[in-house]
Structure 1
Amino acid sequence: RGRDVLNEKTVFVMDEAGMVASKQMAGFVDAVVRSGAKIVLVGDPEQLQPIEAGAAFRAIVDRIGYAELETIYRQREDWMRKASLDLARGNVERALAAYNSNARITGERLKAEAVESLIADWNHSYDPAKTALILAHLRRDVRMLNVMAREKLVERGIV
């Protein structure tokens, strides 16, 4: 009881604030101000923009300012942390060079070769106790990858 009420003791934290449209952001800020609560906006103003009108977070950052976090905890290896900072700062070439020099980038000349390599790698590392994700941009590619992955599971007697 009372958990759904904003008051002067409430701190409202909004993650991915850069994806919130101006109209919705105005509603959140208005509710927070009226209640005496505080709002903390977390996000990257250069990341994905909201689908609806306005880039409220970017405007707030430009007008009020921001604090930037530079300590990365998700990546365990130092080179990965540095590469992540490079990506965040727009140094894509340097970040890709780091991933390439650490054998984390592979490529094939043809799409068919890339698909075969992807499925072979997935099949090699498949562990039913773990979750793996294969992404594709087009639905037809998703269907094709699903069929190929399922065939590998059938070959192994899993399905």
Structure 2
Amino acid sequence: RGRDVLNEKTVFVMDEAGMVASKQMAGFVDAVVRAGAKIVLVGDPEQLQPIEAGAAFRAIVDRIGYAELETIYRQREDWMRKASLDLARGNVEKALAVYDANVRITGTRLKAEAVERLIGDWNHDYDQTKTTLILAHLRRDVRMLNVMAREKLVERGIV
């Protein structure tokens, strides 16, 4: 009842703006401008682009400019903050070297070994009160990992 209406007192904040397609971005910007509101776009223009056409956020950043935040709050340890900045700036090798030096990277020669280790580590650290995320590139790997994780939960009597 009037709370979802854009007006001149509204500041519309869009997080992950880099993931919004051009058509949707145009709709948001048009609605905000018509209402006399203000729009603040938050995101990383170098992040994955939207599936639909266009990189509206990238174009806006290139044309209008941007403010960059360099204070990192999510990572608690100084070395993690520095590594995150390295990743954001494209210094992947440097960031990975820091994570490796802090024993945060493990590797295997075979994919099957990596999968077994991943599920084993996940199972060891599993806590129902916390959220854990396992990512995979291919859908078939996602299905396989889901099945393996579920089997571990069944073994433990959780599912």
Percent sequence identity over aligned pairs = 92
- TM-score w.r.t. structure 1 length? 0.88
Aligned-pair distance for 1:36?
A: 0.8
How many correspondences in the alignment?
Answer: 159
CA 1:150–1:45 in structure 2 vs 1: closer, same or farther (change >3 Å)? closer
- Counterpart mapping for 1:38-77 below 5 A: 38-77=38-77
CA 1:36–1:150 in structure 2 vs 1: closer, same or farther (change >3 Å)? closer
72-81 vs 58-67, which moves further: 58-67
Aligned-pair distance for 1:156?
A: 4.3
135-144 vs 106-115, which moves further: 135-144
In structure 2, C-alpha distance between the alignment counterparts of 1:40 and 1:121, rounded to whole Å: 40
CA 1:36–1:148 in structure 2 vs 1: closer, same or farther (change >3 Å)? closer
In structure 2, C-alpha distance between the alignment counterparts of 1:80 and 1:15, rounded to whole Å: 23
CA 1:108–1:30 in structure 2 vs 1: closer, same or farther (change >3 Å)? same
Q: Secondary structure at the residue paired with 2:40?
A: strand
Q: Deviations over 1:74-105 (max 9, x none)?
A: 00000000000000000001000010000000
User: Based on CA coordinates, which of the two structures has the bigger radius of gyration?
Assistant: 1
Aligned-pair distance for 1:27?
A: 1.5
Aligned-pair distance for 1:158?
A: 4.7
Aligned-pair distance for 1:128?
A: 3.5
CA 1:121–1:64 in structure 2 vs 1: closer, same or farther (change >3 Å)? same
Aligned-pair distance for 1:15?
A: 0.9
CA 1:143–1:58 in structure 2 vs 1: closer, same or farther (change >3 Å)? closer
Aligned-pair distance for 1:20?
A: 1.4
Give the RMSD, CA atoms, in angstroms: 1.9
- TM-score w.r.t. structure 2 length? 0.88
Gaps spanning 5+ residues in structure 1: where? none
Q: Secondary structure at the residue paired with 1:105?
A: coil
